[in-house]
Structure 1
């Protein structure tokens, strides 16, 4: 569930939990999409290419957190 409209990069907003004006802390997480891209690269290109999706933020979700209270603020699905 998205609490705030967030993008792939850190966003400025008011934290609904602590009411502070913050720039979000972003953690990128691999998803099923990331694993599928890695599998396709492995099958059709070469096995050293499988690390590419894990190094690219655009192939992962961006979870946003408040740097003050660590509250979850939303996810951008890349």
Structure 2
């Protein structure tokens, strides 16, 4: 129950003119921030480090950071044949699939314990170079 001297609580909507308000409130404005997005198939980032001594005597060192490979193919430079490639992916049975199989088997659900060995969501992803066919990276779940 409200006393006669109190004002009602604030409600959203157009501002009302109140003459018996003992304090002033400040309006706060907010800026929206851009949401971070997931970016696949990034180009490698090249960082160069140059020291004071190496400017006159030796060429600068170049550090190449390869993109993080997940369950999708990625564009990168092959570490073995040095070609610019898009990786080939292959699903292989890894430790997480065997762990899920073991846990389901522990609950005596024998007919269903081998299902994780068939699901892509439980398998690891192997990335290979399409030129030299060597393994570049294994994405483990």
TM-score (norm: length of structure 1) = 0.75
RMSD, aligned CA = 2.0
How many residue pairs end up in the alignment?
76
TM-score (norm: length of structure 2) = 0.46
- In 2: Cα distance, 1:4 partner to 1:75 partner: 13
1:40 and 2:95 matched: no
User: Residue deviations 1:21-53, cap 9 Å, x none?
Assistant: 222112222223211211211232622212221
Asked which structure has the greater RCO (Cα within 8 Å, sep 6+), the reply is 1
- 8 A Cα contact 1:12 1:23, kept in partner: yes
- In 2: Cα distance, 1:72 partner to 1:31 partner: 15
Higher strand share: 1
Q: Flag structure 1 segments of 5+ consecutive residues without an equivalent.
A: none
Cα offset for 1:75? Answer: 1.3
- 8 A Cα contact 1:24 1:65, kept in partner: yes
Q: Which residue pairs with 1:26 in the alignment?
A: 89
- Partner of residue 15 from structure 1, selected from 78, 87, 90: 78
Answer with 1 or 2: which has the greater Rg. 2
Q: Which residue pairs with 1:70 in the alignment?
A: 133
Higher helix share: 1
Structure 1 segments of 4 or more deviating over 3 A?
A: none
- In 2: Cα distance, 1:12 partner to 1:76 partner: 15
